[in-house]
A and B are shown apart, each in its own frame.
Chain A
Amino acid sequence: MFSAEHKAYLRKIRLNKFLIRFTQIIIIVLIVILWQLAANFGWINTFISSSPKAIVNTIISLYNDGSLFHHIWVTFYEVIVSFVVGTLIGIVIATLLWRFKFLAKVLDPYLTVLNSLPKVSLGPIIIIIAGAGTGSIILMALFISVIITIMDVHQAFINTDLNKIKLLQSFKANQRQIFIKLILPSNFQNIISVLKVNLSLTFIGVIMGEFLVSKAGVGYLIMYGSQVFNLNLVVTGIILLAIMASVMYYLILFLEKRLSKK
């Protein structure tokens, strides 16, 4: 069906794609092998830097005593709740600010100050208000993600093409119609990018919260590991986090593809 030249072109694209994937895998495999070799031959102090084998063993023993999925679930639950609640609150407030320009102007300096304030400093207050438990952790994550969500989404909303707004107004559309017909759909891409940023912020918030107060969760594992100087546990926790964060990131990508296809 295709000319030979076109076939060669397609083959080149496929080959290139394969080479990229291949190199990516080679890098991680090499790192793991090198790390293990370094540990085996005593080039590094495994007490401080751990080793792939020790990490696998730690995961297996966590699995055997039944706590592996418990810790993962606790962190996952906290991330999901803060992520969903944070995104919804952020978009709702951004919508209100878009709708009521007076409110947006009034709140502007407060948002700016809150945004630049290091949210960890609120930790002690949050613990006193919400108690030493999951509530505090979720609140922490919310503080970190909500402000920036509000600012980013609001910025995107007010940058919507003025000519398109004028078009809707010429059809006598009201503010609600303008929002539903134009502002929301035209900012779909922007909202997806905000979701991506939000996800990593929520992870930061949750782990920070777990460092401050927690009885379970991956952050707790890392904190506990460092307190008893079990570096295997610390590195295991970090690797679990990396896996969880990427799984959630790809979930968002999947969602983006599904929604933008229709």
Chain B
Amino acid sequence: MEILKVRNLRKIYHTKQGETLAVDNFSFNLKEGEFIAIVGPSGCGKSTILSILCGLEKASGGEITIEPNLKFGYMLQGDNLFEWETIFKNCLLGLELNGEVTKEDKEYVKHLLKTYGLGEFMNAHPSNLSGGMRQRVSLIRTLATKPDLLFLDEPFSALDYQSRLAVSDDVYKIIKKEKKSAIMVTHDISEAISMADKVIVLSQRPSTIKNIYDIKLSNKSTPINNRKAKEFAKYYDLIWKDIDYHV
């Protein structure tokens, strides 16, 4: 079932010097439980798309149809944890902003923290955690409000390469286990192929869709294993050519 439909999305940025067409003619559908990755060169307007879908920015044109009562969760670049609060309080942030935090909410957050290996850090402050753990806290903070659809904006870009692989594996498992749909923006092609069911490739600014790939890997499992699939290199090659990086 399709829970999100985007038709001909268009975004213009205005500055005193003039206007810039950031996104144009952008359309796609998202099915329930699907994981979509959007890749494209840096600064092509990928993050803009997420901001618009999430309601933080207004589109200049196009149509967005969202299934009623669909709840969003937004995971931003960087973990943005509040250093002055404990891990537990950080995770409750979204709930506190939306009203009373019930006992069930608290239990749910505790359960999430315990399930994903952060139980003993509940009362620690963020500065005591490693980059990967902080990223997991950031995801739990997003999951605490029980969203149906997650927006991930370059969620791992602040991490070093090894933690990046490990954390993306973690995050992927969490998202699949909690049965969430997700849209992830990234500039990392292999990350996109290894995690997503569908990869949308964007062009340079103004961002239009160059290609959409349904990722079909043999023995599809976790991102780290997916990287070993024999089709992986083929997709990588295709997307690389689409993006057409210039150095």
Contact = CB atoms under 8 A, between A and B. Distances in A.
Interface of A: 161, 163-164, 166-173, 177, 181-182, 185-186, 188
A166 B72 CA distance: 14
Contacts of B93: 168, 171, 181
Nearest to A177: B97
A172 B98 CA distance: 8
A188 B84 contact: yes
Interface in B119-150: 145
A161 B73 CA distance: 20
Contacts of B77: 163
Contact of A164 (B74, B82, B94): B82
B97 A181 contact: yes
A170 B80 contact: no
A171 B84 contact: no
Interface residues of A, dominant DSSP: helix
B98 A170 contact: no
A173 B97 CA distance: 6
A117 B77 CA distance: 44
A9 B37 CA distance: 53
Nearest to A182: B82
Contacts of B98: 171-172
11 contacts: A163-B76, A163-B78, A167-B76, A171-B93, A181-B82, A181-B96, A181-B97, A185-B82, A185-B85, A186-B82, A188-B84
Interface residues of B, number: 18
A8 B40 CA distance: 57
Contacts of A168: 93, 97
A171 B145 contact: yes
Given A172-B98, A173-B97, A181-B93, A167 B56 contact: no
Interface residues of B, dominant DSSP: loop
A160 to B, nearest CB: 12
Given A166-B56, A170-B56, A161 B97 contact: no
B76 to A, nearest CB: 6
A185 B97 contact: no
B54 interface: yes
Given A177-B97, A181-B97, A170 B76 contact: yes
A167 B97 contact: no
Nearest to A165: B80
Contacts of B85: 185
Contacts of B94: 171
Nearest to B84: A185
A44 B239 CA distance: 87
Most buried by B among A167, A168, A182: A167
Contacts of B145: 171
B76 A166 contact: yes
Contacts of A169: 56
Contact of B80 (A161, A172, A173, A188): A161
Closest 10 CB pairs of A and B: A170-B74, A171-B94, A171-B97, A173-B97, A167-B80, A164-B80, A185-B84, A163-B80, A177-B97, A167-B76
Given A169-B56, A171-B98, A172-B97, A186 B84 contact: yes
A181 B82 CA distance: 9
